[in-house]
A and B are shown apart, each in its own frame.
Chain A
């Protein structure tokens, strides 16, 4: 049994998000981190590894420095890393990205008792589409928003979070799960793990490696293969100075406040 976890390196958007004069994200000014939900997915895989001794493979699509992130995941306990990296893959939207990742995952091979895991969504694009699209392209059943995962034989029981509750779903392997932060608290790297990380196998899948896959076609990958295009991006306007509502009585102020909030679609 093996678990393949798809992970993404993202700019840390928890602090200040900087935008270049041309409207693109100023990635250089932000620290590159492992997408938080993906870290929960890796932790879920490592927990299953602790229980079953299975193998954990981490896969990422990105520029060569993303290999550093794969090493960090190996220092946490992942066994192998695959970096999917080629100029041809750049500029992909979620359709093209999932096309390429699905090809990479099928090249690794998804067998009967395997699991593919993803984070719910990445904090830079915020779409939450890549996981489900990979499942579709690999013809795997999917369970999204996993907040609890239990494995008994070839059956995975997932507590799937909804806005106002949860549902319990049973799914047979092979399957794809997308994970949320409620699932677990990711472990730290360990000192021993760090000293071992660089001796673990890390492969690069470039365009040559994947080009013969049925999913890979110049019209399905990269900027050209992306049905959607970003026309423009901009920084949301800054909020102006605060407005004090202190004319008239409390009731009038409250009505005025509710009116303003409703107009801005906040309530």
Chain B
């Protein structure tokens, strides 16, 4: 066991931090206020290899590892939850399933443009009637000659309005239930495919979230991802990886709120003392830091296990559950330490608190994570 980061990892952290401080933090408030997708940041991140961190160079990736990716999402989330989830959804939910389940042709066709950020990726699984119960898919895909015809809709799709490449799930055999779901790679301009309006959200407001609509959408046969009927398995494996990304986002949000709270409580004076001199402040910050530190070890352990191709499904669920709940608690406490000012949009902590809540819901609610963990424990 070795808790030391390697020289490369320390350098990565430094680079992410410099980038986040100089390029991401100055935009965070504006993109939240305006609910604007920060395309200019995506272009800059792409140039630095941040849109395909752990994919091999032959597919246009940066040749890094899963922990390097988790640390990237973490550092971005410290200053902007929105920017963090853009990278996370793109990498974990679109690039990863194509890399892990795609044919060589599919990988060569889609990954270089995704990893270089020329194209943005998204993942379409959730439907109005199929959220936590992902098996309740209503979207259908029917094979007609050399193509599938997709009908149905998806909702709450991160990066939905801006993505070019989508991994979408649909029923190819309704009678087979879970085993009747298949995965497809869908391009933005396939006929019969449109995106709905931008959802107005409580947090991560700069992130694009929308419906996907399929009306006799034509998807070439060669865009079936994996085998017919294997879609549910692909979705679940993809979400295992995605949970590392969201756990990293939650981790960063909590850590970012602590950074802000430490800075503020050392400046703000009441009763002739700095807030940091009151024992309540000290104890609050000690508890907050402990929770986020515990979350960090869970997140990093899950990332390292995935990198080593060990079974990491329960680790990812634990990391996401714990980090998300810790982030919600810690950001809420940070607002409290800021007092009245924390409730205003002049200071970043209220934004962090709003952003943190979603980490308990998307890519599997906290309740789903508990289902995954308890089933791994054999508790049925």
Evaluate contact between A191 and B50: CB separation under 8 angstroms: yes
Chain B min CB distance to A34 (Å): 11
Evaluate contact between B7 and A192: CB separation under 8 angstroms: no
Evaluate contact between A188 and B19: CB separation under 8 angstroms: yes
Evaluate contact between A191 and B7: CB separation under 8 angstroms: no
Evaluate contact between B64 and A71: CB separation under 8 angstroms: no
Q: Which of B18, B19, B63, B72 contacts A195, CB < 8 Å?
A: B63
Evaluate contact between A195 and B7: CB separation under 8 angstroms: no
Measured in the bound complex, the distance between the Cα atoms of B24 and A188 in whole Å is 13
Evaluate contact between B48 and A195: CB separation under 8 angstroms: no
Evaluate contact between A72 and B63: CB separation under 8 angstroms: no
Evaluate contact between A190 and B62: CB separation under 8 angstroms: yes
Interface residues of B in 321-354 (CB under 8 A from A): none
Give the nearest-CB partner of B15 in chain A.
A189
Chain A min CB distance to B33 (Å): 26
Interface residues of B in 34-53 (CB under 8 A from A): 47-50, 53
Q: A75 at interface (Cβ–Cβ under 8 A)?
A: yes
Measured in the bound complex, the distance between the Cα atoms of B247 and A14 in whole Å is 34
Q: A191-B15, A195-B64, A197-B8 are known contacts; what are 10 more A-B pairs with Cβ within 8 Å? A: A71-B11, A188-B48, A190-B47, A190-B48, A190-B62, A191-B48, A191-B62, A192-B57, A192-B64, A194-B12
What chain A residues lie within 8 Å of B63 (beta carbons)? Answer: 192, 195-196
Q: A68 at interface (Cβ–Cβ under 8 A)?
A: yes
What chain B residues lie within 8 Å of A72 (beta carbons)? Answer: 11, 14
Interface residues on B, range: 10 to 19
Chain B min CB distance to A202 (Å): 12
Measured in the bound complex, the distance between the Cα atoms of B48 and A193 in whole Å is 9
> Contacts A190-B47, A192-B62 hold; do A75 and B15 have CB atoms under 8 A apart?
yes
What chain A residues lie within 8 Å of B15 (beta carbons)? Answer: 75, 188-191, 194
Measured in the bound complex, the distance between the Cα atoms of B7 and A194 in whole Å is 9
Measured in the bound complex, the distance between the Cα atoms of B64 and A17 in whole Å is 37
Greatest chain A CB density within 10 A among B15, B50, B63 is at B15
Evaluate contact between A192 and B49: CB separation under 8 angstroms: yes
Q: Which residues of A contact B (CB under 8 A)?
A: 68, 71-72, 75, 188-198
> Contacts A197-B11, A198-B7 hold; do A190 and B19 have CB atoms under 8 A apart?
no
Q: B68 at interface (Cβ–Cβ under 8 A)?
A: yes
Evaluate contact between B7 and A190: CB separation under 8 angstroms: no
Counting residue pairs across A and B whose Cβ atoms lie within 8 Å, the total is: 51
Evaluate contact between A194 and B8: CB separation under 8 angstroms: yes
Interface residues of B in 48-90 (CB under 8 A from A): 48-50, 53, 57, 62-64, 68, 72
Interface string of B1-40 (1 = CB under 8 A from A): 0000001100110110011000000000000000000000
Evaluate contact between A198 and B8: CB separation under 8 angstroms: yes
Greatest chain B CB density within 10 A among A71, A188, A190, A192 is at A188
Measured in the bound complex, the distance between the Cα atoms of B68 and A14 in whole Å is 29
Chain B min CB distance to A21 (Å): 26
Measured in the bound complex, the distance between the Cα atoms of B68 and A190 in whole Å is 12
What chain A residues lie within 8 Å of B50 (beta carbons)? Answer: 191
A-B pairs, top 3 by smallest CB distance, nearest first, are: A191-B49, A191-B62, A192-B62
Q: Which of B11, B19, B57 contacts A75, CB < 8 Å?
A: B11
Measured in the bound complex, the distance between the Cα atoms of B62 and A191 in whole Å is 6
Chain A min CB distance to B209 (Å): 27
Chain B min CB distance to A33 (Å): 10
Chain B min CB distance to A72 (Å): 6
What chain A residues lie within 8 Å of B53 (beta carbons)? Answer: 191
What chain B residues lie within 8 Å of A194 (beta carbons)? Answer: 8, 11-12, 15, 64
Chain A min CB distance to B271 (Å): 25
Measured in the bound complex, the distance between the Cα atoms of B59 and A192 in whole Å is 13
What chain A residues lie within 8 Å of B62 (beta carbons)? Answer: 190-192, 195
Chain B min CB distance to A188 (Å): 5
Measured in the bound complex, the distance between the Cα atoms of B197 and A141 in whole Å is 63
Chain A min CB distance to B65 (Å): 9
